[in-house]
Amino acid sequence: MHLRTLLIVAAACVCVGAGALAQTDTGTPAQPDASTSAPAKPSKKKKKSGTKKSSKKSSRKKKSSSPAAATQPVSLEPPVPDDGEPPQLTHQIVATGVRGKPLTIAAHAIDANGVFGPILSVRKKGLGAGDYVPIKMTPSKIVPGDYSVDVPAALTNVDALEYYIEAWDIAGNGPSRAGSAEQPIAVSLEEDKKVAAAPALPTTVTIKPKGAPPAITHAALTQALKGKPVEINARLVGDTGVQGAVVMFRHAGEKEYKALPMGNIGGDDYTATIPAAMTTSDIEYYVEAFDQYGNGPARSGAPNVPYALRVMDPSPAPVAAAAPPPEAARVHKQALDEDQASQTIIGLGIDGGAPGGGGATLLVRPLWWLRLNAGLAYNAIGLGYRGGITLAPGDWAVTPTLNLDAGHYLSGDMTKFVTVSDPTERALLSKTTYTFATAQLGLEFGSQRRFSFYLRGGITYVFSTLSGADITAIAAAHNGDPNNTFTVGDAKVSAIAPCASLGFNIFVY
Amino acid sequence: MRNLKTIALLLLPLFGCFAQLEDQTVTVSHNLCGGATNCMPAALPLGLIQVSGSNTFTVNFGDQPLLKPSSDLGPATLNTSLILGGAGVQLQNPASGDFTQVQTISLLIAPTSGVDCSSAGSNCTLVADYDKTRDGTANQSIVLKGHSVDLIQYISTTTHSVQLQLQATGTGPNNAWNADVSMDMALKARANFP
């Protein structure tokens, strides 16, 4: 009867453990709870397992909090193939602290299989190897890979501490260490005022107030045009503020990164622009930021794993985008689509208006705020050509514009619209050519990257020259005295008049 | 009140708008002998030139809408000017001699045909003149300085013509002669909005 009860309890434990594994994110492996007892270390050789003969009470305990229980699923086949490598562990050494105050120790650990630990082992300086107190470091909820732990004030009421950190991956590879049991890192604990008076050692001393670095959301860019500025945007969210947000970038192949401060553009959005002069070759970059207490850095990308920004010639050479990290594939694809859309620089415009007539023009946008146009003009009197520029100081749903155009009508026949019987006057009006220039303010509706509709109004300057010979012929026809001879030179006709037009632009490439 | 301001703003671009036609070289030439050769006697005292009647001539500009001082064109008003910049007398045949003995020549506009501008109270308008003392001795041609008179106001609205007369002093060329009288004018027609 007792044996049957034990089997049922054991089966229940296995089911609950399997359920916990099914809910565990493989990218962020389950961590055992912090415990004052020595945590279980995953090992390929040494695997702890719960005893089948344990009591019902002890089985429940393992299910809920025991590190040994949490590591049981590790013995199953890991979801990610074992890379055989221990985690990458980086740690900023803490050399001093304040006696009687909690001591914050942080580390950064990453591994493709997921990180187990890290475990901070701390002891009073001078004690034996068996006196280390293991404390599991807590993963950051905001920045993946960041861990920290506060050494309780009860342990810091001594002159000095020694510690080291170990981390394994879920497959049991490791440990990676910062310090070791034999060569621990020493922390000098001083009175509060002594620390205040001590010279700052920013490179080695890290005493951070409570807080966490900001979380970074960034859609990585993969392509840019040579000689064009690159705008890098990120959303930085932190409970304790954001400080020192920068884009660190370098040309591919270079060692050193250059820092480009990011500016807040409202809310949690930050931006920085890599100058056009720097986009001469492929660029690598990452984004990092701290909170206002100096916690961090939080990073998107990293110095050793930067985002690759391929810099292409403006000529239309399709280049395959660099493969984004698997976890950001969807975001990368979206960013790529947006990039391609924002880089449309060639389009077609069709418009009509008075008194300029209509036309079809080829549009080229060398700068995001500048468009050039050139094309044909037609105003029912005749055909001509024209060109101009449009300045659009924004890229909004409704954007104000300033448009300057100039053109020339090559030929025209005004007699279509004016009834003239005098053959000399008909001869003059049938050869109507003129040059024009317009300045218009307008509003564009829609996306300037793709399709926009616009209304414009302004003034136009029209200039034409009438043939002196034709005017002389008209004067001669009206001359009543054969003894009089008229000679008339070319006449200049000019006008400044209001004008209005409407049309649309489509950018296709 | 707001509507008035809006309308005023909308009409603002119209201020300064205009249409204009400009021709700086309008020339009318008249032959004193009406095509005949050397109708003027040799060494003619020029004070007698009006006796021949050749000193009077009419320039007909035709019925042109532009050639009125002012005309309404919808919301705009068309204003036209025809300024006489200068005049000249060109001897047709060099063998006739020269104009070295000519003392003065005046080109006048007669208010009506048949008026003798040399008589007192003729109410003629001087538009250009030559003075040997002022302008120097002439030779084959004489340049008359214009007085920037706007001829538009003298163009008859019915006949579309101007009556012109030459008055001169001194002596003509030594041989029978003929000459062309020319007038250089500048036409400007401008319609301002509104």
Which residues in chain A are closer than 8 Å to B64, comparing Cβ atoms? 478
Q: How far apart are CA A280 and CA A286, in angstroms?
A: 18
Query: Is A494 in contact with B60 (Cβ distance < 8 A)?
Result: no
* Residue at A133 is within a domain: yes
pLDDT value at A339 more than 70:
no
A393 and A325 assigned to the same domain: no
DSSP chain B: -HHHHHHHHHHGGGTT-EEEEEEEEEEEEEETTTT-S--BPTT-BGGGHHHHTTTEEEEE--S-TTSSSEEEETTEEEEEEEEEEEEEEEES-GGG--STTEEEEEEEEESSTT--TTSTT---EEEEEEEHHHH---SSEEEEEE---BGGGGS-TTT-EEEEEEEEEEB--SS-B-EEEEEEEEEEEEEE--
B147 versus A354: the higher-pLDDT residue is: B147
Nearest residue in chain B measured CA to CA from A439: B13
Closest CA to A235 of A265, A190, A273: A265
Mean pLDDT value of segment B14-26: 85
CATH number corresponding to B18-192: 2.60.120
Residue A83 lies in a domain: no
Mutate to test the interface with A, among B7, B27, B188, B190 (most CBs of A within 10 A): B27
Cβ–Cβ gap A492/B59 under 8 Å: no
Q: Identify the residue whose tokens are 């954007």.
A: A399
Decide if pLDDT at A330 tops 80.
Answer: no
Check: CB of residue A493 under 8 Å from CB of residue A470. Answer: no
Give the per-residue pLDDT at A79: 55
What confidence tens digit (pLDDT) does each residue in B145-193 have? 999 999 999 998 888 889 999 999 999 999 999 999 999 999 999 988 7
A354 touches chain B (CB under 8 A): no
Handedness of CA A252, A256, A261, A262 (dihedral sign): positive
| Amino acid letter for position A385 | Y
Q: Which of A479, A492, A497 sits opposite B62 (nearest CB)?
A: A479
Domain that holds residue A179: 88-197
C-alpha distances in angstroms, A54 versus A13, A16, A17, A73, A159?
A: 11, 16, 16, 19, 43
**Final residue belonging to a domain, choices A335, A357, A377:** A335
In whole angstroms, give the CA distance from residue A286 to residue A122. 34
What is the pTM (predicted TM-score) of this model? 0.51
Q: Is residue A286 domain-shared with residue A407, that is, in the same domain?
A: no
**Same domain membership, residue A362 and residue A495:** yes
Asked if A492 and B21 come within 8 Å (Cβ–Cβ), the reply is: yes
Q: Are residues A469 and A323 in the same domain?
A: no
- Are residues A500 and A366 part of one domain? yes
Residue B161 with chain A: CB contacts under 8 Å: 480
Domains of chain B, by residue range, sit at: 18-192
pLDDT grade, residue B194 (50/70/90)? low
Rounded to whole angstroms, the Cα distance separating A378 from A360 reads 9
Nearest CA in chain A to B28: A486
Convert the pLDDT of each residue in A278-287 to its tens digit: 888 889 999 9
- Tell me if B25 and A468 make a contact (CB, 8 A cut-off): yes
Same domain, A354 and A499: yes
DSSP string over A138-187: EEPSSSTTEEEEEEPGGGSSSSEEEEEEEEEETT----EEES-SSSPEEE
Q: Do B22 and A477 touch (CB under 8 A)?
A: no
Q: Which of A75, A98, A128 is the last residue of a domain?
A: A75
- At A309, which amino acid appears? L
Per the CB < 8 A criterion, the answer to whether A42 and A71 are in contact is yes
- Output the DSSP codes for A189-257: EE-HHHHHHSPP-TTT---PPS--PPEEE-----EEETTS-EEEEEEEE-TT--EEEEEEEEETT-SS-
Q: Is A81 exposed, middle or buried (0-12, 13-18, 19+ CB in 10 A)?
A: exposed
Residues of B in contact with A483 (CB under 8 A): 30-31, 34-35, 57
Phi and psi (nearest 5°) for B63? -90, 85
| Cα–Cα distance measured from residue A254 to residue A406, given in angstroms and rounded to the nearest whole number | 48
How many domains does chain A fold into?
4
pLDDT of residue A154: 80
Q: For position A165, what pLDDT does the model report?
A: 92
CATH of the domain at A92: 2.60.40.10
Side chain identity, residue A185? I
Q: Write out pLDDT tens, residues A100-123.
A: 888 889 999 888 888 887 999 989
**Which range has the worst mean pLDDT, A40-44, A425-429, B117-121?**
A40-44
E strand or H helix at A124, and its extent?
strand A115-124
- Which two tokens mark A109? 């650990």
How many Cβ pairs closer than 8 A exist between chain A and B?
90
CB contact at 8 A, A484 and B59: yes
Write out the residues of chain B at the interface with chain A, using a CB-CB cutoff of 8 A.
13-14, 16-31, 34-35, 57-64, 160-161, 187, 193
- Residue A209: the pLDDT is 53
- Answer yes or no: do A350 and A454 share one domain: yes
Among B108, B110, B180, B193, which Cα is nearest to B142's? B180
Q: Same domain, yes or no, for A350 and A486?
A: yes
> B38 CA to chain A: closest CA distance, Å?
15
A237 touches chain B (CB under 8 A): no
Residues A238 and A365 in one domain: no
Q: How far apart are CA A347 and CA A330, in angstroms?
A: 29
Domain boundary among A169, A197, A225: A197
The answer, yes or no, to whether residue A383 has pLDDT greater than 80, is yes
pLDDT, residue B189, reads 92
Report the relative pairing of strands A258-261 and A230-237 from DSSP bridges: unpaired
* CB of A150 closer than 8 Å to CB of A98: no
User: Among A225-239, A338-352, B80-94, B163-177, which is the least confidently predicted range?
Assistant: A338-352
Instruction: Please indicate whether residue A25 or residue B104 has the higher confidence score (pLDDT).
Output: B104
Q: Are strands A307-312 and A223-225 parallel, antiparallel or unpaired?
A: parallel
φ, ψ (nearest 5 deg) of residue B2 = -65, -40
Say if the Cβ atoms of B60 and A485 lie within 8 Å. no
What order of strands is seen across the sheet that includes strand A215-217?
A: A215-217, A230-237, A269-274, A263-264
The yes-or-no verdict on residue A16 having pLDDT over 50 is no
Domain match, A317 and A174 both = no
At residue B139, the pLDDT reads 95
Chain B hits for A458, Cβ within 8 Å: 13
Residue A412 and residue A281 share a domain: no
Task: Based on the fold, state whether residues A177 and A227 are members of the same structural domain.
Answer: no
